[in-house]
Structure 1
């Protein structure tokens, strides 16, 4: 509980002083874990008034600021929030955004970096309004990629970033950092339909039958094709997540990082031979996010896969020719039934 509020002066340029309130103990900034002792009033007065008029002016302002100090103390004691709102408005929004992004995935960090660039690294909560929101929307639709400024950010990426930004503002509103939910006044960025790339029988055979300069990369790709696991779950998969079943075979028991749902995915002995032998720690020890980008594409190109495939494509429906593969056929079919049962039956194989 705040017990004291002082009206103090700080010397600034040109022989002036800036007035501020000094809290003891420090006051907690709502919605954050930070405290502050100072609240500047944006009132600047001459340090040494030279004329009678200046002295009377300073005296009048000081009297008004003293009344304001008493009102602030009263609001804090009565747990009213008018003054807290003023503190929040002066709080650094970018600092808040950065701290929130560190609690989430890299996508949040990318959105933060774009917004920091857009605002020239200067933005408070008082600056957050519909007009700024609309300008940031236009910025995302016309800006370049962070890692390659020679390429424009794709519309679907912009849509995803804007959706993340909207989600962050909604959480800030729930924490009373914003007075209104700005999302209610604006539209999302529409996504464009994209062509889904599939792995054909021939391409999957190339992956299975060719050695990779990075052996753990090949194992991870085959495992992802069979189970449909996302990149984040592949990287975090541990041997303790894979249990041997009493009647034979194996099963992966793992909580998915994105959905937080528990997945129970059966796998066979043949897949265990591909990723094994079993041990301790990470199943794909040494695998990095970078390996799943350019190194994977280089390997695909070297073995004859010419498509521009991303690792996420392993989650897509395997082409219906997969049913003709003798090696691992039953295993692949079973996993597709588990993970893709709805979309799979839309394939030409069941037309």
Structure 2
């Protein structure tokens, strides 16, 4: 058996089939994986930027985990989905850490909605009579699990689906979290997960949480994630769309149509001329439908630059703007 001293790089470890052979059936070194590991290590050392595209079966996860864990300073690894996040943390990372035989602390961190809020659980258990029968029954399942869980990560509770109606009652939002004033603050799974992340050598997050943190930092709000020397994005092709959701503004024709319906609903409680407002809202609704039709295929997704000069789109867009000006005048 080679001594630890002889293994100085990720390539050294990957070249040792004996180390991985007992953990990965049929393991053998692959040149593409070795080259990727070298490139990742060099980028970390130089504090540079590296973009890697590799075929399925290359072994990308090992090629970036080994250099990251062998490097100095904390690392953030961001995945495309929560399921990949769990696979990386519970399957891949333990294997790599076992191979390395080194003391490295890893942590898993998800968004707020993924953690049990003990305070809200207790609060709504006392008010169970106000819940539906289904939600009240699910509340008891959550309460039983809450007494056993160490992490409070709701993904542990496989008995309940992700869209179970009980989850909003037993998790928190930024608006209803009491923070340090919460009587259950010391046992809060979210705060404990963040504390572990601050102390870890490698933290596994997901793209949505990463950009939520970046957006908060841009607004001067305290960050969600710890600082890191290295950031690795797995499934990086998803980044543009996710980043746009956090840093861009969007407006759909459905939202515009909802504005019209909301205006009619509010007008029913006032002295507004409902007949005239109905006509204005109907014009907005028709203009929205015409704009959608002018874009072509119903499920089409394309850059605005591809359609902005189309005569049909220009005409429909102008008609919608005119209809919205009329609606604004009516509401004023």
Q: TM-score range by the shorter chain?
A: under 0.3
Greater radius of gyration (CA) = 1
Normalising by structure 2, we get a TM-score of 0.25
Normalising by structure 1, we get a TM-score of 0.24
Higher relative contact order (CA 8 A, sep 6+): 2
Which structure has greater strand proportion? 1
